[in-house]
Amino acid sequence: MITLTELTKRFGTTTAVDALTLEIAPGRVTGFLGPNGAGKSTTMRMILGLDRPDSGTALVDGRPYLTLRHPLRVVGALLDARAVHPGRSARAHLTAMARSNGIPTGRVDEVLATVGLTEVAGRRAGSFSLGMGQRLGIAGALLGDPGVLIFDEPVNGLDPDGVRWIRELMRSLAAEGRTVFVSSHLMSEVQLTADQLVVIGRGRLITDAPIAEVIAASSLTAVRVLSPEPAALGRLRDRLVARRRTVEPVGVDELVVTGTTVAEVGDLAHELGVRLHGLSVREASLEQAYLELTDNSLQFTGSPVGAATHPTRIEAR
Ligand SMILES: Nc1ncnc2c1ncn2[C@@H]1O[C@H](COP(=O)(O)OP(=O)(O)OP(=O)(O)O)[C@@H](O)[C@H]1O
């Protein structure tokens, strides 16, 4: 469990993280999203004691990271896969980490096998490809068998096999009851991997909800209703409008409703005795839902190609 309370970090006049209050629960993968500069890395760095909050607290299993006697046994992290001594072998790197955290060195070979690096364990980490470096970073995160895992952009630069491997690893870590907190800019990947979504913009919390709810709440998610009885369909429309749902009639026998669910429309139709010939949902993609959510919090935005201007900074509204 990770608990953030009013967590705040300023760099000069920039408030990178702004009174963030949040609980990241065990047993599921929580995707951490936000536009560039939203404060994701800074939040992760504060959880790991690498940046000091100006105010508020970040606790891992109820304690500040810096008070943990053997931190790797509580929380494992992959922040920057290049943060490895290039002259050391993968095995020597992990062995040094294990020793400094009171972890039996026999564990090193186990994690090397888990991440598929056994064969190259004696090679210098500096000679590793990007994907091998990511795997080594993940081996380090898993070394202490921690209950909490934090990954910052773990699939950056990986090939499709590597991406799938990380997805399956994160799912299995969560299924074992661990807390898995992962940032990414790849929406399709987050949609496949995460259960819960935390979105921040300009350092502030925008959303903390299950992915399915975020998608259902998008204005681009719509329920389509077909009925052979226009008058009855009109009654259904009136009732939905009274509930402040957005209803768009298509001809006399069809409605497209947003801000609702199939269950709500189906139940209402049943209650009003409306005969239905079709009830289906057209789901927004996570990317569409995310873009709607972050529309107001983009810090840097480009102009359409051809407009010949440079990216501009948008001031807070
Ligand atoms: N060490 C630092 N010194 C000064 N400003 C910083 C520092 N670290 C981060 N910032 C600023 O804090 C804000 C949040 O940055 P952060 O890297 O946490 O965002 P992010 O959401 O991880 O972005 P990205 O998706 O681009 O990685 C940005 O405005 C950034 O420029």
Q: What is the extent of the structural domain holding 113? A: 2-209
- Model-level pTM? 0.84
pLDDT above 70: percentage of residues in the chain: 92
The residue whose CA is least distant from atom 16 of ligand 1 is 39
Query: Per-residue DSSP letters for 213-273?
Result: HHHHHSTT-EEEEE-S-HHHHHHHHHHHHHTT-EEEEETTTEEEEES--HHHHHHHHHHHT
Q: Please tell me the predicted confidence (pLDDT) of residue 309.
A: 35
What is the arithmetic mean of pLDDT over 180-199? 93
The alpha carbon of 139 and the centre of ligand 1 are apart by a number of angstroms equal to: 26
ipTM: 0.97
State whether 120 and 27 are in the same domain: yes
* Segment 51-77 mean pLDDT: 95
42 lines ligand 1 (CB under 6 A): yes
The reply to whether 240 and 203 lie within a common domain is no
Kindly state whether residues 51 and 75 are assigned to the same domain.
Answer: yes
CA 144 from chain centre, in angstroms, equals 23
Residue of the nearest CA to atom 2 in ligand 1? 11
The stretch 207-235 carries a mean pLDDT of: 92
Residue 35 · residue 42 · CB < 8 Å: no
Contact predicate 151/163, CB 8 Å: no
- Whichever domain contains 19, its CATH number is 3.40.50.300
255 alpha carbon to ligand 1 midpoint, in Å? 45
Looking at the structure, tell me whether residues 166 and 261 fall in a common domain.
Answer: no
pLDDT for residue 298 is more than 90: no
pLDDT confidence band for 18 (50 / 70 / 90): very high
Query: Under a CB-based contact definition with an 8 Å cutoff, are residues 262 and 212 in contact?
Result: no
Span from the CA of 56 to the centroid of ligand 1 (angstroms): 18
Q: Three-class SS of residue 304?
A: coil
31 vs 161, which has greater pLDDT? 31
Tens-place pLDDT, residues 111-136: 999 999 999 999 998 889 888 898 99
In a domain? residue 238: yes
Q: Is residue 136 part of a domain?
A: yes
E strand or H helix that includes residue 72: none
Domain count, the chain: 2
For ligand 1, atom 17, name the residue with the nearest CA: 41
Please give the Cα distance from 76 to 178 (Å, whole number).
11
Residue 11, pLDDT > 90, answer yes
Pair 127, 265 in one domain:
no
Give residue 207 CA to ligand 1 midpoint distance, Å: 20
pLDDT number for residue 38: 95
Report the candidate in 184, 263, 256, 169 with the shortest Cα–Cα distance to residue 220: 256
Residue nearest to atom 28 of ligand 1 (CA): 37
User: Do residues 32 and 161 both lie within one domain?
Assistant: yes
